[in-house]
A and B are shown apart, each in its own frame.
Chain A
Amino acid sequence: MTSAARSSAFADVSQRLQTVGFKKRAGLLFTRDIADDVLGWLGLNRASRHTPAGCYEINPVVGIRHQGVERIIAELRKEKFHPYMPPTVSRPLGYLMPDPRYRSWTVSETNSGQSINSLIEAIEDHAAPFIESHATLAGVCELLDDKMGFDHQLVYRRPVAWLLAGDIPRALRLVATAEEALGGRSDAAALEFRSFAAEFQRYAGVSHTG
């Protein structure tokens, strides 16, 4: 698929998603306002290796982003808050459909119309209802406990979500457990989490007394 055809196909997807209420963000990221401080999230992860020349495989990833949780994480990690990246919880669309399994949509020059139609239909029928049914802090906490996402990201989000939900002892336990699991690791990810854990305990102490 030449770059012009690819751009055209992706522009088509983008336009169709916007007509069903998604807002286009950078690249192939889309969000949808679903509640106060909660965004629906959709990323079109792509693969082109192991596909015939001219074909792209799209792995749509559905997520929910709780802005309150993400603001606290950014503050504790001493980072600038990003308005839509990453999602608080996420999972590939195929696992949200009946008969959960990995599903991808292949777009090529000869079938981009059909593929795009099918993709949009799946998003409307399965992704949108899923997002809307978990558009609360309680819903997000439930999905976090269900480990919906990448573990190295969930270790930050689980304690913060429970802190926001008011269950501070549980939040502190989650941080302590995750820190203990690091053991003697000294890689960059471990160092960052230890720093976050220290900040979280200070923050939780202030929140508890505050």
Chain B
Amino acid sequence: MRADSAGAACPVPKAKRRNHAGASRPLTPAWAPPRTRWRGAAGRHRLLALVWVSRGVSDDGGHAMSVGCCFAGVSFWISPGFVNSYGPVLVCRVNGGSCCCNLSPWRSPMSSPALSPGPTGLAVCQPQPLANSGSAGQTGQPDGQDRVLSGRNVWDGLLAERLRGPGWPEAKTVSDETAGQLEKSQDQADRATQNISTAGGRVIGREVTVEAAGVRTKPDLYVEFSDGATGFIEVKTGPTASLTPNQSVGYPAIRSTGGVPVGDNAAMAGLTPGVPIGPTPVTVVHQPWPLP
């Protein structure tokens, strides 16, 4: 067994140390396993109880303490201080595997990693089998579970009250809006693809990086039209979406003199990175069309 920074022995392998001063993450024991996946502890528990204390600095400049305990191969720690001091977090990790349950009313139980904070500072996840049939994604979160986790019998105090008051509805609104925008963006890209197919064309590559006029751009679609000609399509979602500075330079160059596909994704699409392509139309498509 190796010692952690506080000098207590811990059966969990030591991970790379991190400097928490100014870090965007809250206090995290240095040996925190990277991702949450339930593998099951296969009988490697140890009848051992250890307690340790570690200290770090959160990015709001405050000091935070965490108290850890390791028993029967399962380690727990409670960290009372976090970014913006949102309150206690209980984290448990199973020795030999990785199961994590730290509490937060902000993130979905389906999300991970264990101690990666959301925009409001905390993360939540649950032990789950590898073949998970959930499909909410990181921004979708069931209201019911978050409400349970933020209930008075789970978490109380000034910050908890703030969360149950204006905090949760505001965070939920932002989360829902973001999810909605992402869904809309995907719908619009799918619509562009369908329109191409309807017109007898084919999508022959996605997000191929092309170097032209000294800049790199990555149009959304590389397509073959019904007449055999090829072209790039850039999908912009919303009436105010505009070209980036690189696109403003690169796309006219691709149209007039061509460019050079570069990168792995070009190779995966069947192109030859480094071999130039001739002048190729780049069409910017605004969805939805017509613009409102």
Contact = CB atoms under 8 A, between A and B. Distances in A.
B207 A47 contact: yes
Contact of B133 (A45, A48, A114): A114
B134 A187 contact: no
A57 B130 CA distance: 20
Contact of B278 (A91, A114, A152): A152
Contacts of A28: 264, 268
A50 B188 contact: yes
A109 B130 CA distance: 9
Given A27-B267, A85-B267, A102-B197, A49 B276 contact: no
Contact of A45 (B138, B186, B189, B206): B206
Interface stretch (B14-22, B46-54, B164-172, B177-185): B177-185
Contacts of A92: 202-204
A153 B154 CA distance: 63
A159 interface: no
B205 to A, nearest CB: 6
Contact of B110 (A8, A44, A52, A110): A110
A54 B186 CA distance: 13
A85 B272 contact: yes
Nearest to A27: B264
Interface string B197-224: 1000011111110000000001010000
Contacts of A111: 132-135
Interface residues of B, number: 57
Given A53-B138, A86-B267, A109-B138, A48 B202 contact: no
A150 interface: yes
B22 to A, nearest CB: 22
B188 A59 contact: no
B270 A43 contact: yes
> Which secondary structure dominates where chain B touches chain A?
loop
A4 B110 contact: no
B135 to A, nearest CB: 6
Interface string A149-176: 1111100000000000000000000000
Interface in B216-238: 218, 220, 228, 230, 235, 237
Contacts of B272: 85-86, 153
Given A53-B139, A108-B137, A114-B131, A185 B278 contact: yes
B35 A53 contact: no
Nearest to A110: B134
B95 interface: no
A51 interface: yes
Contacts of B278: 152, 185, 187, 189-190
A207 B257 CA distance: 35
A113 to B, nearest CB: 4
B258 A86 contact: no
A2 B137 contact: no
A97 interface: no
B239 interface: no
Nearest to B270: A90
Given A54-B138, A113-B130, A63 B35 contact: no
A95 to B, nearest CB: 6
A40 interface: no
A147 interface: yes
Contacts of A44: 268
Interface of A: 2, 4-5, 8, 26-29, 41, 43-55, 57, 59, 61, 63, 85-87, 90-92, 95, 101-102, 104, 108-111, 113-114, 147, 149-153, 185, 187-190, 192
18 contacts: A8-B35, A47-B220, A49-B218, A50-B189, A52-B182, A63-B270, A86-B271, A91-B204, A102-B197, A109-B112, A110-B135, A113-B130, A113-B132, A187-B257, A187-B276, A187-B278, A189-B277, A192-B275
Given A151-B230, A187-B257, 11 more contacts: A2-B116, A47-B206, A52-B139, A61-B268, A91-B202, A108-B135, A110-B136, A111-B132, A111-B134, A113-B132, A188-B257
Interface of B: 34-35, 110-113, 116, 130-139, 178-179, 182-183, 185-186, 188-189, 193, 196-197, 202-208, 218, 220, 228, 230, 235, 237, 257-258, 260, 264-265, 267-272, 275-279
Which 3 pairs across A and B sit closest by C-beta, in order of nearness? A90-B270, A50-B189, A43-B268
